[in-house]
Amino acid sequence: MVGRPFDFFSTPRIVFGRGVIARLGDVVRPLGGRALVVFNGAAQPQVVELLAAAGAGQVSLRQRGEPTTEHIAQGVGLAQREHCDVVIGVGGGSAIDAAKAIAGVVANGGGVLDYMEVVGAGKPIAKPALPWVAVPTTAGTGAEVTRNAVIGEPSKKFKASLRSELLLPRVALVDPELGAGVPPAVTASSGMDALCQLIESFTSTNAQPMTDALAREGIERAARSLARAYRDGADLDAREDMALAALLSGITLTNAGLGAVHGFAAPLGANFPVPHGTACAALLPHVMAANVAALRAQSPAHPTLARYAIVGRLLAAQEFGSDAAAIDAGVERVAQLSRELNIPRLSHYGLTERHVPDMVALAKRASSMRYNPVVLTDAVLADVLRRAI
């Protein structure tokens, strides 16, 4: 049987390994002479020092919280005033998405809402982004290799993306040692985001052979190392596994899409102070269970059920006598992992029963929802959200 055609996008160059941050100057030097450093976290002084040693001019911009349209406008203005010709995103997904969006808007003109899906004009990005380099310090979003930047628009109470392969960084420089000082709660939240992205892209309606191979590798690494990295941040073997799992999750989501967990995460993050990865962790076992139930109701032999069985075997690192047992074990393992990582329930961030109808309505508009392996009814979506409150 001949499979359907597919496209595959990825960052042109990935530099991965312990200590590779030392190569930053050599990486940036061919791209530009004056850098806008968009950062959160503790790695910014090291980046500034490395750039100075390489003779690069620079100005820094701290990204506080998840990026909004206002943040991007401020960054674009700063880059233009300072005549920056290269951008560096250093930190978690918020800093990297902000850097990506700033680089894209500077090169294409106008404002970020001109290019945003759902809440903006959705204009195509016609020109390559300003050269930029992604330096992640958390292992979660995989934003260092994605072709979209997630930006909040507070007036619409929604987060949406600007999206194009022209937004991919020139280089993703991924040094697992930069994660050694990340607090346990951030390790937990970001790591569950990576695991969720791997599972959702593997079970997506848009999955394809290349993303399948990468997702399986990433799930296996996250399953064996996320809890270890949470318990001991200095465990560099675990940090390396998680850095690679996050990187792989960014590649798979860019090419295969996601699902209902991320469909919910967009409006939740825009309306409540819940970290993105925490929302994903709280919802993942319930979405998996709902998808499995709906797929079983459609057909006991639905091909996506075999994928959920693979996920279960990878998460549990064992074989099972039947696919059904493997699937159920996978759902339970995700729920158990969230408990081990002390992931808060969504009520901790102010979500209550009265918010459920609005969040369901907003989630159905999210671009990720179109790739969920089965269409879930409003009643099922509402039940999923209630179970995470």
**Residue 231 belongs to a domain with what CATH number?**
1.20.1090.10
Q: Are residues 172 and 197 in the same domain?
A: no
- 3, part of any domain: no
Return the percentage of the chain with pLDDT > 70, whole number. 99
Q: Are residues 269 and 128 in the same domain?
A: no
- 73, part of any domain: yes
**Cα–Cα distance between 320 and 313 in angstroms, integer?**
7
Residue 126 vs residues 19, 73, 107, 321: alpha-carbon distances, Å: 36, 19, 9, 52
Contact 357, 281 (CB under 8 A): no
Contacts of the segment 184-187: beta carbons below 8 A, 24+ positions apart = 184/230, 184/231, 184/233, 185/342, 186/92, 186/138, 187/138, 187/139, 187/226, 187/229, 187/230, 187/233, 187/242
Q: Are residues 117 and 142 in the same domain?
A: yes
Total count of domains within the chain = 2
- 17, part of any domain: yes
Question: Residue 86, SS3?
Answer: strand
- 5, part of any domain: no
Q: Are residues 165 and 189 in the same domain?
A: no
Q: Are residues 273 and 154 in the same domain?
A: no
287-309 pLDDT, tens per residue? 999 999 999 999 999 999 999 99
The pLDDT assigned to 2 comes to 45
Place of tokens 């597919």: 6
Provide the domain limits for residue 135.
13-179
CA geometry: angle at 232 spanning 251 and 179, to 5°? 40
- pTM for the full model? 0.95
Mean pLDDT of 24-41: 95
Q: Are residues 139 and 266 in the same domain?
A: no
Query: If pLDDT is split at 50, 70 and 90, which confidence band does 154 have?
Result: confident
134-144 pLDDT, tens per residue? 999 999 999 99
Query: If pLDDT is split at 50, 70 and 90, which confidence band does 84 have?
Result: very high
375-384 pLDDT, tens per residue? 999 999 999 9
Going by their DSSP bridges, the two strands 86-91 and 132-136 should be labelled as parallel
Question: Residue 152, SS3?
Answer: strand
pLDDT of residue 1 exceeding 80, the answer is no
- 21, part of any domain: yes
- 26, part of any domain: yes
**Cα–Cα distance between 384 and 170 in angstroms, integer?**
39
**Residue 148 belongs to a domain with what CATH number?**
3.40.50.1970
